[in-house]
Amino acid sequence: MKANKTSPFPGFFKSISLSMKQFISFFMKPEDVHKLLLNLANNSSDDFVPILINPFDPMLLVKDIGLIHPILKDVEYQNRSGFPIIDYIYFLFIKNLNLLKGIQPKLSKNMGGITFANGEDWKRNRKIGLRVMNDPQFLEYSVKPILTSTDEMIEAMKKSNEEVYKINQYIGQLGIDVVGKLVFGTNLNIFKEDRENKEENINSKKLSHSVRTMLDAIQKYLYRPFPAGFYSLFKSKQIKELDSAVYNLALTGTILLDKVKNEIDRNNMTDTQECLSAIIYKNYPELDDTEIQAILMDLLGAGHDTTANLVVFTLSLILEANLLDSSEELQKEIKAISNILPVYGETEENMNYRNILETIEKNSPILSSILNESLRLYPLGAVFSRISLNNKKNYTIKGKKNYYLKPKTKLLISPYATGRSNNDWGENSDSFEPFRFLENEKKPEAFIPFGVGKRSCIGGRFGILEAKLILFRLFQLCTITKDTSFQPTDSLLAFTLRTKHDIPVRIGYNQ
């Protein structure tokens, strides 16, 4: 079919309606990228907008939501285009795993995992990830560890006796504590004074430092125009720190996976049998340790920061809008959910966790709506990428107008831009309307915080469950008010979206 519009490339620079200053700051400060996306979303009339995050790697931002859905659902666009710093981290991680096992590293371009893998490896690993993250038994099993870790965090805050808490920092740590339990069935004791996990000899302080170091390095180097090999040769101080952080993650993963495997092999699993590493080891004997570790690392990478920040943004928005005081509906829902949550040490241990899971998932419409609105304004995966397969000469997209895209065209999709476009959400698209999603029976097409189609997020259901459990638990056991130093919610684009400011709160303890 003949398209009535030619490739968007010829109009490349013409359509950038940015001042030079913005354009230059684009190269210099990756954290400004999302402001720019917003500007483009509302001020450019083009369906595709050329983006030069990396001057050697042009991408097209797909702006029109009518084009985003067909592209993301098309197999032609099921590959993701990667980032050199992430390729380097995978490379280092796999190399360290191999060296720890005394195996000479065999390194390929496609390093495994899910998020940045392509081709057959991606297909197989995604199927595994999708199955385990949505396994009802795993979801049911995760309720107790999430609640107990949150309890430990609250206990630690109480003990610290601070007047004002930077609660975002506590929640970041909480995310890692939960990962320890859910991925490896081990208690990292992040919130205990004696922070060692003696049994497995894991230093949890060092572990959470390694996760932070890795995320910070990704943030800093994400848009740098160097190939992955550059980081193997030129070691800045931060890259050296990254190297030892990745080594520590590989070492910790190896110790913990070996423990889980030993327990399974000796038929000695206790309450850890539903953790992710156990489920994968038991159900996928065809995977070797390195392949299992790459999937687990991916789940940590894609799941930890996103979920922790979802809790932080949502809490910030709730406090900013004074919803805990002003919304009777929210108060009622918190009360109803508090009635079914166990209080450890007081409630009978024989809890029906399936019932808790189902009630939290299906019967908390107010918090669901607030979380969706939080995801609309602050989608943690604020931009994601695609690259076309090479098997068509020109790819035709049929939208309002038809387009030809050249083979290997890199596309960028931004849930941040689609979530704030005035066309889709009205003139007040920037304002927080907590009950917006209660009124919409069907979610608007422009709401895509988990992506769409064949590469959409596999952990969304779990992420929402974890966020709800943490928030309900906090509201059940604490009275949280914002401190006078609280600043309106705002974001920075790191690899994922983070809050721009700390969230300073005062806490009263209900029990």
By beta-carbon proximity to ligand HEM, the closer residue of 380 and 470 is 380
Site for ligand HEM contains 460 (CB under 6 A) = yes
Instruction: Provide, rounded to whole angstroms, the least separation between the CB of residue 276 and ligand HEM.
Output: 8
Considering CB under 6 A, how many residues would be counted as binding ligand HEM? 32
Hey, how many other C-beta atoms are within 10 angstroms of the C-beta on 368?
18
Distance of CA 342 to the CA centre of its chain: 28
Closest Cα to residue 34, out of 424, 433, 500?
500
By beta-carbon proximity to ligand HEM, the closer residue of 459 and 504 is 459
Among 132, 380, 478, 505, which residue sits at the site for ligand HEM (rule: CB under 6 A)? 380
Among 245, 302, 446, 505, which residue sits at the site for ligand HEM (rule: CB under 6 A)? 302
Cα distances from 239 to residues 89, 179, 218, in angstroms, run: 10, 25, 10
Token pair of 184, please? Answer: 């490896």
Site for ligand HEM contains 456 (CB under 6 A) = yes
Total count of residues recorded for the chain:
511
Q: What is the DSSP letter of 275?
A: S
37, containing H or E segment: helix 33-43
Q: Nearest 5°: CA angle at 378, between 374 and 379?
A: 100
By beta-carbon proximity to ligand HEM, the closer residue of 342 and 460 is 460
Site for ligand HEM contains 370 (CB under 6 A) = no
Among 68, 114, 217, 505, which residue sits at the site for ligand HEM (rule: CB under 6 A)? 114
Give the pairing type, strands 57-62 and 410-413. parallel
Instruction: Provide, rounded to whole angstroms, the least separation between the CB of residue 395 and ligand HEM.
Output: 18
Residue 62: strand pairing partners: 48
Strands in 478-482's sheet, in edge-to-edge order, are: 165-166, 504-509, 478-482
Instruction: Provide, rounded to whole angstroms, the least separation between the CB of residue 451 and ligand HEM.
Output: 2
- Applying CB under 6 A, the span of 87-95, 104-112, 295-303, 479-487 interacting with ligand HEM comes to 295-303
By beta-carbon proximity to ligand HEM, the closer residue of 312 and 507 is 312
Among 84, 381, 434, 504, which residue sits at the site for ligand HEM (rule: CB under 6 A)? 381
Instruction: Provide, rounded to whole angstroms, the least separation between the CB of residue 487 and ligand HEM.
Output: 23
Site for ligand HEM contains 498 (CB under 6 A) = no
Site for ligand HEM contains 84 (CB under 6 A) = no
Among 47, 459, 469, 477, which residue sits at the site for ligand HEM (rule: CB under 6 A)? 459
By beta-carbon proximity to ligand HEM, the closer residue of 239 and 310 is 310
Site for ligand HEM contains 253 (CB under 6 A) = no
CA distance 472 to 457: 24
Hey, how many other C-beta atoms are within 10 angstroms of the C-beta on 176?
21
- Mutual orientation of helices 289-320 and 365-377 as an angle, nearest 10°? 100
**Amino acid symbol at 80:** R
CA distance 176 to 345: 24
By beta-carbon proximity to ligand HEM, the closer residue of 243 and 298 is 298
Among 298, 333, 373, 433, which residue sits at the site for ligand HEM (rule: CB under 6 A)? 298
By beta-carbon proximity to ligand HEM, the closer residue of 124 and 126 is 126
Token pair of 330, please? Answer: 């929210």
Q: What is the DSSP letter of 388?
A: -
By beta-carbon proximity to ligand HEM, the closer residue of 491 and 507 is 491
Among 293, 307, 418, 476, which residue sits at the site for ligand HEM (rule: CB under 6 A)? 307
Instruction: Provide, rounded to whole angstroms, the least separation between the CB of residue 408 and ligand HEM.
Output: 18
Site for ligand HEM contains 450 (CB under 6 A) = yes
Site for ligand HEM contains 457 (CB under 6 A) = yes
- Applying CB under 6 A, the span of 226-234, 239-247, 255-263, 377-385 interacting with ligand HEM comes to 377-385
CA distance 272 to 183: 9
Instruction: Provide, rounded to whole angstroms, the least separation between the CB of residue 496 and ligand HEM.
Output: 8
By beta-carbon proximity to ligand HEM, the closer residue of 30 and 303 is 303
CA distance 132 to 296: 11
By beta-carbon proximity to ligand HEM, the closer residue of 231 and 384 is 384
Whether the CB-CB separation of 417 and 38 falls below 8 Å is answered with yes
Q: Which of residues 132-191 bind ligand HEM (CB under 6 A)?
A: 133
Site for ligand HEM contains 38 (CB under 6 A) = no
Q: Nearest 5°: CA angle at 338, between 186 and 331?
A: 130
By beta-carbon proximity to ligand HEM, the closer residue of 44 and 456 is 456
Looking at 389-459, list the stretches that DSSP marks H as alpha helix, in order from N- to C-terminal side.
415-419, 422-425, 436-439
Token pair of 180, please? Answer: 């320890």
Q: What is the DSSP letter of 64?
A: -
Among 82, 84, 419, 451, which residue sits at the site for ligand HEM (rule: CB under 6 A)? 451
**Amino acid symbol at 78:** Q
Site for ligand HEM contains 92 (CB under 6 A) = no
Per-residue x/- track, 412-431, ligand HEM (CB under 6 A):
---x----------------
**Amino acid symbol at 52:** L
Cα distances from 223 to residues 42, 110, 124, 362, 489, in angstroms, run: 24, 20, 29, 40, 25
The SS3 call for residue 507 is strand
Site for ligand HEM contains 115 (CB under 6 A) = yes
Closest Cα to residue 370, out of 434, 285, 465?
434
Among 190, 297, 308, 310, which residue sits at the site for ligand HEM (rule: CB under 6 A)? 310
Hey, how many other C-beta atoms are within 10 angstroms of the C-beta on 104?
7
Site for ligand HEM contains 126 (CB under 6 A) = yes
- Binding residues vs ligand HEM (CB under 6 A): 72, 80, 114-115, 126, 129, 133, 298-299, 302-303, 306-307, 310, 375, 379-381, 384, 415, 449-452, 455-460, 462-463
